[in-house]
Structure 1
Amino acid sequence: MGENSKIEWTTHTFNPWWGCVKVSEACKHCYAEAWAKRVGQKVWGPTTHRRFFGDAHWKQPETWNRRLEGTGQRERVFCASMADVFEDRRDLDPHRARLWSLIETTPNLDWLLLTKRPDVATRLNRWGTNWPANVWLGTTVENQQRADENLPHLVGIPARVRFISAEPLLGPLNLSAYLERLDWVITGGESGPKARPASPTWFRQLHLQCMEHEVSFHFKQWGDWAPGDGINLPHRRTQQAHDGTLMVRLGKKAAGRELDGATHDGLPESSRAI
């Protein structure tokens, strides 16, 4: 985590703090919670303290920004991979304000704010209807219920780029009511020891919807489970997906990220120079 992230759709990650509260089915096997526990940080839950960082940590994005000056290039910063910047806690307000200032003073960086709480994003930001040009706002929609809860809030916010992360995808999605006001769809399957297999038809349907509405599409990964066609199955754990496809547990790396023989690395048009 940090500079030169291994996450396929960002350049760097930056965390203003660590810790969160689970709010949806996508949170059930949260990788960030598992990672925090692995390094001895008990920062998940409504009453636990969050982990904060010093000045050296906060200066990293300023270094990335300076490096880009005069180059005409831009880099993306996923904020926050270990938290949610719109978690509605008052002890987070000063750190949130510091983040808004950092975003404003790093115009060469596109800040990707991914939240499960778009319903409070308008209240907890300080920009009103004039969001900075380098803010991309996204929300997680793992199934149709979450899409219908979250997307009416997201599409009403005047961020320069609005996107969704349908990862882990846990059900079919019909986004036709929202895609005219979205710029980017990221999707993928779940990884980790308790990963749930996704149906390949869910991803194909999302891809078709994005093509029909000319919305950029990014398939991040199969996750731990991939379709079993052509795979030597002995001694492999298998499970039937909701669409009937036999899925094989291969692990994230072996499963890869090709969908129907192609890699989909779409980025929104607004990723070009401001």
Structure 2
Amino acid sequence: MAETSIEWAHFTYNPWIGFTKVSPACDHCYAETQNNHRKWAEGWGPHAARKRTKTRSNLQKWDKKAKELGVRYRVFCASLADIGDNHKSIDPEWRRQLVEDIRQYTNLDFLLLTKRPQNIAKLYPDLIEDWPSNAWIGTTVENQVEADRRIPRLLELPAPVRFVSVEPLLGPVDLTSIPYGCPIGNAPSYQDALCGKIWMPEGSVTWATDKCATANGRTYVDLCGYLSWVIVGGETGKGGRPMHPDWVRSIRDQCAAAGVPFLVKQWGDWLPWEPEYDPCWKSQNGKSEDQHVLFPSDIDNDPKWDDGLSFINEGQEHAVFQKVGKKVAGRLLDGVLHNEYPTTGDIR
């Protein structure tokens, strides 16, 4: 009964529409582009008033259907807004009603996604006080900078399911090494957001005597919040940027090691050319626009990141991508469909 093309949700619900761009992930905002020629076009940007919608009745319909079928529907909130937006035009009553709806429609799982997790506690005190099990909370991260900035704030929230949408993925992301707090004795500490542990480099903690607490060069010193789900996706639309497959593989492997559900949403418009898979070159024959790009191996500008470029033939210095569109590019990573979901309230 899915009524949205978004791979990880059955429905989308927007209590209001409009928001302000805050980071590189917003550069080619699909929501803004999609609505430029609609009545909501004036709702975008820091000086534009957000617009209230009239679609609350859909929640009752979806909840009733889910109950009849004995299933749970995932409702993405919000595809055309940010529930963490603190814009002055947003009536506090809109937020109160959203929390009320979440509590009322218990057959729906509300997937609350924000680029502003630091605002949630202040904007939704009723939610913080008694967080319902059907309210999942997630944040968008597109690179390591935003992961380091947003994930710690997300993990402070007492939700039963916390997730990240790494879309569009614009660079390598390590979810196991998020900088954490103040260094102890000038030694840095990190947050493993997948295992829910705080760690310090081996040898930097003289008071950690339990040898079992040290593995792979890391000494685990405390517990922290963790992610229950990771979504990865490439970019679509005008100006969309390619997604390096090794970035996706790295996150896949991190999730597999920690037992965290992993979902590849899409490659986006660009598909990497790898010898073992059909590159679809014929789809571009006869087109006047050059639809191929060379992806520099040093694009991430991080000397610590070794992307390996495992799919590049010996002697090549670039990864080759072809613009084929989202539908043709598909969702497969190394020929495998990754389509995993968390269980509400699952505690590892």
TM-score when normalising by structure 2: 0.74
Shift in Å, 1:130: 2.4
Tell me what 1:120 maps to. 119
Tell me what 2:315 maps to. none
- For 1:218 and 1:242, the matched residues in 2 are separated by 26
Tell me what 2:17 maps to. 18
Tell me what 2:52 maps to. 52
Shift in Å, 1:198: 1.2
Cα deviation, 1:119-147, whole Å, max 9, x if unaligned, reads: 11111112224211100000001000000
- For 1:258 and 1:223, the matched residues in 2 are separated by 12
Q: Give unmatched runs, 5+ long, in structure 1.
A: none
- For 2:42 and 2:31, the matched residues in 1 are separated by 11
Shift in Å, 1:32: 0.3
**Residue 210 of structure 1 is aligned with which of 251, 255, 259?**
255
- For residues 1-274 of structure 1, the aligned pairs below 5 Å read 4-40=3-39, 41-54=41-54, 57-69=55-67, 71-92=69-90, 93-125=92-124, 126-176=126-176, 177-180=192-195, 181-229=226-274, 230-231=278-279, 232=281, 237-243=291-297, 244-270=318-344
User: Residues 33 and 44 of structure 1 are in contact (CA less than 8 Å); yes or no, is this contact kept in structure 2?
Assistant: yes
SS in structure 2 at match of 1:185: strand
- For 2:8 and 2:30, the matched residues in 1 are separated by 17
User: Residues 161 and 182 of structure 1 are in contact (CA less than 8 Å); yes or no, is this contact kept in structure 2?
Assistant: yes
SS in structure 1 at match of 2:321: strand
User: Residues 141 and 164 of structure 1 are in contact (CA less than 8 Å); yes or no, is this contact kept in structure 2?
Assistant: yes
- Return the structure number with greater helix share: 1
Structure with max Cα Rg: 2
User: Residues 129 and 157 of structure 1 are in contact (CA less than 8 Å); yes or no, is this contact kept in structure 2?
Assistant: no
- For 2:295 and 2:129, the matched residues in 1 are separated by 43
AA paired with 1:158? P
Q: Give unmatched runs, 5+ long, in structure 2.
A: 177-191, 196-225, 298-317
Shift in Å, 1:69: 2.3
Shift in Å, 1:245: 1.8
Shift in Å, 1:90: 3.6
- For 1:266 and 1:195, the matched residues in 2 are separated by 25
SS in structure 1 at match of 2:344: helix
- For 2:98 and 2:22, the matched residues in 1 are separated by 23
Structure 2 CA distance for partners of 1:242 and 1:113, relative to 1, 3 Å: farther
- For 1:133 and 1:83, the matched residues in 2 are separated by 22
AA paired with 2:47? T
SS in structure 2 at match of 1:81: coil
User: Residues 128 and 157 of structure 2 are in contact (CA less than 8 Å); yes or no, is this contact kept in structure 1?
Assistant: no
- For 2:162 and 2:256, the matched residues in 1 are separated by 17
Cα deviation, 1:183-232, whole Å, max 9, x if unaligned, reads: 10000110002101111100000000000000000001000000123422
AA paired with 1:259? L
Shift in Å, 1:242: 4.4
- For 1:13 and 1:70, the matched residues in 2 are separated by 20
- For 1:145 and 1:184, the matched residues in 2 are separated by 20
AA paired with 1:16? P
SS in structure 2 at match of 1:45: coil
Cα deviation, 1:52-104, whole Å, max 9, x if unaligned, reads: 223xx211101111222254311100000000011012432221111111111
User: Residues 134 and 344 of structure 2 are in contact (CA less than 8 Å); yes or no, is this contact kept in structure 1?
Assistant: no
Structure 2 CA distance for partners of 1:168 and 1:242, relative to 1, 3 Å: farther
Q: Which runs of 4+ in 1 moved over 3 A?
A: 233-236
User: Residues 200 and 245 of structure 1 are in contact (CA less than 8 Å); yes or no, is this contact kept in structure 2?
Assistant: no
